[in-house]
Amino acid sequence: MPFNSKSLLRKFLIWKYKHISERQFVYMLSILVGFLAGMGTVLLKNLTHYISLLFELSFFKNYQNSLYFIFPIIGLLLVYIIKQTWLKKHIGHGISSTLYAISKLNGIIPRYNIYASLITAPLTAGFGGSVGLQGPAISVGSALGSNAARLFHMSTKTRMLLIGCASAGAMASMFKAPIAAIIFAVEIFSLDIAFASLVPLLLASVSAVITSYMFLGTDVLLRFELTDKFEINDIIFYIFLGLVTAFASIYFSKVFFLITNFFKQFESRALRLLIGGLAIGTMLYFIPPLYGEGYGIMNNLLKGDHIAAIGITPFNLDLTNIWIVIALLLGISIFKAIAMTTTFGAGGVGGLFIPTLVMGSALGNAFAKVINNVGLGFHVSESNFTLIGMAGLLAGVLHAPLTAIFLIAEITGGYELFLPLMIVSAISFTITKYYISHSIYTLKLAERGELMTHDKDQNVLMVLDIDKVIENNFIVLKPDMKLGNILKNAVAKSSRNHFPVVNDNHEFLGVILLDDIRHIMFNSDFYDTVDASSLMHADAGIIDYDKDSMNDIMEKFKTTGVWNLPVIKNGKYYGYISKSKLLTAYRQQLINFTN
């Protein structure tokens, strides 16, 4: 008897329906999704690691600085070939793409996202592209979560929850920080902190961390043991660090959008690769620490070994001079954002989470070195400021202060630095939020009205499908139609009291209401003398299908006070939306959100 996977799945679903409650099954799926997200993250890390190991051979080390120029271009070229010849699909930034899928695609993520980033991100980062793996890990995990939910015919709300579980699992597996992972999922993906969603997030995070320990052992990305305690006298310096990281976060975001827009003007992907590849190669040749993800910089700075962090440069610089070291660390901070965004612009695949940490670590360490060497007799812990600089950049760039606080707290293995973490993260987030309303992940989505937030009213309006509330069964009139013809072929055959008037190009000209003709409709003297153009008038408002969000539409109904508004699509009449149908759809979607 041949194996039939569909029949087997159907039997399992019937058995599940009879023996397992919906909540229990969601718990089971969250464990599975956490495991899969953990496996995806482990694969990403190992593939990138093994590619990087190739370039540590003695043959390559002899020409290391020169090859820093070539390797990233080779990696970007391989990614370009894979995209053009095999995938033939767009690979977006992991977190932004996931947020879009949640808000506009009902949590449906295409299957190719499972393997697309898994192949292209290690090639980008392993060959020296200045990007991280957290974004791709979330892309892989969220695609696994979405498709697992679809496989078992789960509801839209459960599908979105499992995407959040997968994202938390990817974060937990990457940093072995399950608490920060849960907060990350809640803060970035706007998940409800209700019991029904909190337990699956916990299970997914624990499952992913255990998976990471099973395959990677106790090895962690950031190796640090807190030795210097928090000193109350250092608070003033932490306040200044918060200000510095805030403006560094603004710089990071501005550079990202500036370079991204620069590359968008080139339609040819090959030209983007050429320009971006040469630019990133040049930067890596002169500033080798920008090569790859940058964990070496962070770990060496945390150990207090700034010479190892900076590495070998093409210049014969005196690294015993602390001010030269400070200048180089500031150079890393400045150029990390440029190198990362240039890698994206050239077609590379990666994330910005870890580059943000790298920039923060270099900035925090340089800030502490300035305090210790300025000659005023002050002394602060350079390792502590390195850590807290990371939190400040993370809070500002990602607009995720709680994630920043708990991630660094978990990395340190305690809460000794909780107070300075809160101070720096709060200052950095508040100032950055004032100048840049949304993070790099969410700005474009927010501008298009496609961002899911903790505001349930906005979320309900955003997920409403405009096509499901547009009504097309209105009889359309032409401006030269006579009153007799209107009464015979429109009024007599329609249950509506609205009659849109359009020209030969189907452009909306106006509307005739039944009340507009009621006083003459029984007077035959007007049947052949009065036409639609003399009876029509402008509607109270018009809905633009291509521009107006559901929030805009609801606002137009509120300001006009009418019950029906015409819809224009591509400049042509498309239909009508009635307030009653819109409110009915809103109520049903609100029930789905709060159930």
* Same domain for 388 and 287: yes
User: Could you tell me which residue, 313 or 535, shows the higher pLDDT?
Assistant: 535
- Backbone phi, psi, residue 243, to 5°: -65, -45
Longest CA–CA span in the chain (Å) reads: 103
Give the range of the structural domain holding residue 114, as residue numbers without chain letter: 5-216
Percentage of residues in the chain with pLDDT exceeding 70? 88
- First CA to last CA distance, the chain: 43
Asked whether residue 166 is assigned to any structural domain, the reply reads: yes
Place of tokens 């029509």: 536
The whole-angstrom separation of Cα 61 and Cα 58 is 5
Residue 224 · residue 387 · CB < 8 Å: yes
Which pLDDT value is given to residue 151? 84
**Which pLDDT tens digit goes with each residue over 523-579?**
787 788 888 888 888 887 888 888 887 778 888 888 888 888 888 888 888 888 888
Q: Are residues 416 and 380 in the same domain?
A: yes
Q: Which residues pair with 573 in a beta bridge?
A: 568
Amino acid at 316: N
Q: Any idea what the CATH number is for the domain that residue 27 is in?
A: 1.10.3080.10
Query: Residue 295 falls within a domain, yes or no?
Result: yes
Instruction: Report the amino acid identity of residue 529.
Output: T
In a domain, 223, yes or no: no
Do 588 and 522 fall within a single domain? yes
Contacts 24+ apart (CB under 8 A), 230-233: 230/384, 230/416, 230/417, 230/419, 230/420, 231/380, 231/381
Question: pLDDT value at position 507?
Answer: 86
User: If you count them, how many residues does the chain have?
Assistant: 595
Query: Is the domain of 65 the same as that of 203?
Result: yes
Note whether 238 and 208 are same-domain residues.
no
Give dist(CA 136, CA 37) in Å, integer: 11
pLDDT for 274-292, tens place per residue?
898 889 888 888 888 888 7
Domain edge (last residue) among 457, 484, 499? 457
Residue 222: inside a domain: no
Has residue 224 been placed in a domain? no
Q: At residue 393, does pLDDT exceed 90?
A: yes
Would you call 541 exposed, middle or buried from its count of C-beta atoms within 10 A (0-12, 13-18, 19+)?
middle
- Closest-CA residue to 208 (of 331, 400, 34, 337): 34
Percent of the chain with pLDDT over 90: 20
| 312 in any annotated domain | yes
Domain identity same for 63 and 107: yes
Mean of pLDDT values over 158-169: 88
CATH number assigned to the domain comprising residue 585: 3.10.580.10
Choose one of 170, 192, 216: the last residue of a domain: 216
pLDDT band at 359 (very low <50, low <70, confident <90, very high): very high
- Residue 170 burial by CB count (10 A; 0-12/13-18/19+): exposed, middle or buried? buried
Last-in-domain residue among 216, 250, 281:
216
Residues 440, 473: one domain?
no
Q: Is residue 221 part of a domain?
A: no
SS3 annotation, 240-261: HHHHHHHHHHHHHHHHHHHHHH
Q: What is residue 291's three-state secondary structure? A: coil
Are 453 and 522 in the same domain?
no
- Give a three-class secondary structure readout of 517-567: HCCCCCCHHHCCCCEHHHHCECCCCCEECCCCCHHHHHHHHHHHCCCEEEE
What does the pLDDT average to over 12-25?
A: 75
What is the rounded average pLDDT for all residues in the chain?
83
Q: How confident is the model at residue 333 (pLDDT cuts 50, 70, 90)?
A: very high
Same structural domain for residues 211 and 238?
Answer: no
**Is 405 part of any domain?**
yes
Q: Give 218's contacts (C-beta < 8 A, 6+ positions apart).
A: none
Separate counts of helices (H) and strands (E) for the chain: 26, 6
Q: Same structural domain for residues 117 and 254?
A: no
Q: How many domains does the chain have?
A: 3
Helix or strand holding residue 329 (H, E): helix 322-345
Task: Return the structure tokens found at 395.
Answer: 């809070």
Same-domain status, 65 and 126: yes
Do residues 487 and 536 share a domain? Answer: yes
